[in-house]
Structure 1
Amino acid sequence: MSTITTQDGTQIYYKDWGAGQPVVFSHGWPLSSDSWEAQMLFLASHGYRCIAHDRRGHGRSSQPWHGNEMDTFADDLAELIETLALKDIVLIGFSMGGGEVARYIGRHGTKRLDRAALISAVPPLMLKTAANPGGLPMEKFDEIRQGAIADRSQLYQDIASGPFFGANRPGAKVSQGMIDSFWLQGMQAGHKNTFDCIKAFSETDFTEDLKKFDVPTLIIHGDDDQIVPIGAAALNAAKLVKNATLKIYPGAPHGLANTHKDQLNADLLEFIRF
């Protein structure tokens, strides 16, 4: 397997497909780089080098007890980018991975980047606060934590067969394979790692990170996202990122990298090329 070892000894797995300008992907919770397969196959087939890592604690990477927060995740990403000597990068983050991308830019800047994309991403802040009234109440995240402790496997089944892909909407067509893939990726991840990440993706405020974006940025979000509501996420992020292009997918759920993969692939290719 292709891995790097970070400064604290954590092994980070990554896949590296194709050749050309590098496109680096950051996945969501509780998934792995496998969740980007459709985009990686498509873009690698169109002349790009597609790289995706398993975040620490996820997929085939180590499961350290500590470091399951956004600063460390961003630093791991920076180590991967520097170890592979990547430059002129298109950096793409989905859901929690969008937070990782934002924090990477906040901590490490854009000197190695050509452009960035945030897909169904959590920034600027998921949690409802006085300053963020459109966010979700803490009770929602406490329910996820309780579900993770009680029966993590069933929690992932319920998320995948319900709101993540919009399977709970009338007329939805979500395959059993799609649900099983989500569950499998989740169960590959560490229990402690994924538990800690609930706090990381819900309570981290990326407002100042978004203000540091100075490369062309594409923001894509479904207006029926039941996991990361568009009002507190993409609509606010688009106001904070300079020269952002916002694309809203009508009726799309959170997991649009699967449910709307052809549309997303085409939009990413157009964005990267031009």
Structure 2
Amino acid sequence: MPHFESSFDGAALFYRDYIPSLIPEPHNVRAEYSNESQPTLVFLHQWPLSSSMWEPLMIHLSESYRFRCIALDRRGFGKSEWNGMRPERTEIDYHVLANDIVDLLEKLEVGKFVFIAASMGGGESLLAYMSSNYIRQNCQGFVWVNTSLPYPTATPEFPQGTTKETWDQVIDKIREDRAGFMSEAFKGPLGVGNNEVPDKLMGRIERMADAADALAIERSVQLFSGYDFSETLATLNQESKLPVLLLHGDSDAGTPVEVTAWRVAQILPRSKLKVYQNASHILIVTHASHILEDIILFMKSI
């Protein structure tokens, strides 16, 4: 799979691009789907994983349902560099992450597409949309999975959010014992919750986190826990009628549905919210088949 160069600092950023083909004959292909007129699906992963988390869905959607599927490794995660060769460009914020997405989609000239973004990826997709004419002209909708939008950190108005002190403790624990913290977190409400998950599958998730750059892990926590997208969402509601699908777990401790997806649904009344029962933060591990079904229904609706 290829890399491209960030226009911000020259960092080499990795992406997956699954383009439907008829040679060899696809497995379990759905005859009612065509690869000529369907929008591309653009996947953005959650912290602290990589585009690999989306592989099971991307294979289904590309091979059987004939969608072109693109997934970017956020800078510092997977096979993407955290920073490039320009030492004066060190202020990497949410807008830089969004610019990386704009760079990729404009370079590939993907045409019509839909964002499918998990957790902090929702913020990246929203800022990419607001900052690029090309994205606004071609984006057909958003699917936000266990989103951190609009703001996952506790406030006096929304005390159910995770406190700033807790996010700081997460950083301290990662500095002290990154592998141990990730292993325990992924087995609890920040990961798969009470669901039974095979050990080898959990090991694969842990390896994704192990591959991430330490600085990227820490600064990403600071980014998604410190950026309030409420006004940006309100602007989106005023300026577009794009459909939005929210998929969220009812037991997500990191981005509780009460302070994230429910609030997004209030700011964007046209959005549709589906809450998965007995579901925590890493839905792709425990509820992949449900996500696949809901994506297919969403794409049919648009």
The TM-score bracket by the shorter chain reads: over 0.9
Gap runs ≥5 in structure 2: 21-34, 85-89
Tell me what 2:58 maps to.
Answer: 40
Runs of 4+ in 1 over 4 A off after TM superposition: none
- 2:6 maps to 6
- Give the superposition deviation at 1:225: 1.1
What secondary structure is seen at the aligned counterpart in 2 of 1:164? coil
Instruction: Render the CA deviation track for 1:209-262: whole Å, top value 9, x for unaligned.
Output: 222152111011011112211000000011112411111112211111120111
Q: CA deviation at 1:67?
A: 4.5
Indicate whether 1:272 and 2:291 are aligned: no
- Counterpart-to-counterpart distance in 1, 2:10 and 2:269: 36
Distance 1:266 1:226 in 2: 25
1:187-225 CA-to-partner distances (Å, cap 9, x unmatched) read: 111001111011111111111222215211101101111
Letter of the 2:19 partner, please give it.
G
Q: Quick one: which of 219, 228, 231 aligns to 1:205?
A: 228
1:260 is the counterpart of 2:287: yes
2:27 counterpart residue number: none
Q: Residues 82-93 of structure 1 correspond to what in structure 2 (within 5 A)?
A: 82-93=106-117
3-state SS of 1:79 partner: helix
Q: Any residues of structure 2 matched to 1:1-274 within 5 Å, and which?
A: 1-7=1-7, 8-19=9-20, 20=35, 21-45=39-63, 46-64=65-83, 66-108=90-132, 110-167=136-193, 169=194, 172-211=195-234, 212-213=236-237, 214=240, 215-274=242-301
TM-score normalised by length of structure 2? 0.85
Task: Using the TM superposition, give the Cα deviation of residue 133 of structure 1 relative to its aligned residue in structure 2, in angstroms.
Answer: 3.2
Residue type matched to 1:249 in 2?
Answer: Y
Which residue identity does 1:164 align to in structure 2? L
Q: Which amino acid aligns with 1:134?
A: Q
Partner in structure 1 of residue 31 of structure 2: none
CA RMSD of aligned residues (A): 1.6
CA distance in 2, matches of 1:70, 1:178: 30
Instruction: Specify every segment of 5 or more residues in structure 1 that has no aligned partner in the other structure, as ranges.
Output: none
Q: TM-score if structure 1 supplies the norm length?
A: 0.94
Q: Does the CA-based 8 Å contact 2:49-2:208 persist in structure 1? A: yes
In the alignment, the residues of structure 1 paired with residue 299 and residue 266 of structure 2 have an alpha-carbon distance, to the nearest angstrom, of 22
Contact 1:30–1:185 under 8 Å retained in 2: yes
Taking every aligned residue pair, what percent have the same amino acid on both sides?
A: 28
Q: CA deviation at 1:128?
A: 1.3
Q: Are the aligned partners of 1:68 and 1:200 in contact in 2 as well (CA < 8 Å)?
A: no
The aligned amino acid for 2:149 is: P
Letter of the structure 2 residue corresponding to residue 244 of structure 1: S
CA contact (8 A) 1:165 1:174 kept: no
- Measure how far apart 1:102 and its partner are: 2.0
Count of matched residue positions in the alignment of Structure 1 and Structure 2: 271
